Amino acid sequence: MRTIPRLGVRPLRAAGLALALLFVFVELGSAQRGGGFRGNFGGAFEPPVNNIKYDARFTFARLKYTVGPGGYYYRGEPAWAHGFNQAEQNLTQILDSLTMVHPRMGQSNVFGVDDPLLSEFPVAYMTEAGYWDLNDKEAASLGAYLKKGGFVIFDDFRPPPRGGGGWEQFEANMLRVLPGAKMVDLTPQDPIFHCFFEINSFSVLPQAYDGGAPMIRGIYEDNDPRKRLIAIINFNTDVSQFWEYSATGMFAVNESNQAYQLGVNYIIYGITH
C-alpha cells in the first residue's frame, strides 16, 4: 500500500484491519444505541441541518437536492437524506482511526448542489441519485464545482421501480452538469482503488439488498483517463448502508470492513487529486 506523504496517511496491514475496525465498531455502538428507524412513514420528514464553517479540516459534505416522485419511500425522509447522518459519522470515525487525515468529528454539512459554500469542501456525497431532480442553475453550479477540483461520490441507487428513475435519470442529469461526459466502467486497476487500501477485486464488495453485481463507474476530467476522476458512481449497490449499520450487528464485520475500505479510498483520492 502506498503512503501519501503530504497528508501523513499511514497504510494499514490487511491482517490487522478486522481487529482495528472491530475496535471502532465497539466505540460506535454506544452512539448508535437507540437510533433505530425514525418515524413519519406517511409524509415528508426533513432532518435538521446545522452546517459548520470551513476550518481546513476535512468535513463530510452531503448534497441536498429536489426529490422527484417516490423519493420519500424510506422512513418518510427525502431521498438525499437516507443514512443521514449516521453513515457519515461512522465513516469519519473510521477515517480518523486509520489515517492521519483526522477529519472533523461529530459534525457534517449538507449543501444544495448550487450552494456557493460547497466550493470550500473538496469532496461531496450524494445518495439515491435516481430521485434527483435538477434545474439549469444547479446543473451549471455543480459542473463548475467539478471542473474547479471538486470530487463527488454517488452511492445507493439502482434500477426502477425502487430506484426512482434509475441510471437513465442520473445519466440525463449528469449530461446537463457536464455536457459530453462519459460515464465509464472502472476496474480494480484504477488508481482510486489503491490510494490507501489495496482493493484488487470487485467480487469482494458486499451487497446489502441489491440483486446482482455492483457497478462502479466514473467520470474523468475531460473524459481523459490519464487525468483525475471527478466523480465515482456506485450503481446497483448501497455501500453507505454498511457504514450506517456497522455497529448494529446487521452485517458481518468483514462486509462492513470492505465497505469502509471503499469509503476511505474515495475520500483519500478526492482530497489528493
Report the pLDDT value the prediction gives residue 64, as an integer from 0 to 100. 97
Span 150-185, pLDDT tens digits: 999 999 999 998 889 999 999 999 999 999 999 999
The number of beta carbons lying within 10 Å of the beta carbon of residue 192 is 22
Q: How many domains does the chain have?
A: 1
End-to-end CA distance of the chain: 17
- The answer to whether the beta carbons of residues 157 and 130 sit under 8 Å apart is yes
Sign of CA dihedral 52, 233, 73, 38: negative
Report the pLDDT value the prediction gives residue 75, as an integer from 0 to 100. 82
* DSSP H helical ranges for 178-246: 239-244
Residue 229 region, left (φ>0) first, then alpha (ψ -120 to 50), else beta? beta
**CATH number, domain containing residue 80:** 3.40.50.12140
d(CA 219, CA 222): 9
pTM tops 0.85: yes
Report the pLDDT value the prediction gives residue 162, as an integer from 0 to 100. 85
Nearest in space to 254 (alpha carbons), one of 18, 7, 14 = 18
Grouping H, G, I as helix, E, B as strand and the rest as coil, residue 236 is: coil
- Cα-based torsion angle of the residue sequence 82, 37, 159, 261 in order, rounded to the nearest 10 degrees: 60
Question: If you compute the radius of gyration of the chain from its CA atoms, what whole number of angstroms results?
Answer: 17
CA-to-CA separations, 33 to 28, 76, 92, 246, in angstroms, rounded: 9, 21, 18, 12
d(CA 30, CA 119): 34
Domain encompassing residue 70: 5-33+40-272
Distance of CA 122 to the CA centre of its chain: 13
Collect the ranges in the chain with pLDDT lower than 70. 1-44
The number of beta carbons lying within 10 Å of the beta carbon of residue 269 is 23
CA-to-CA separations, 64 to 91, 115, 200, in angstroms, rounded: 19, 10, 32
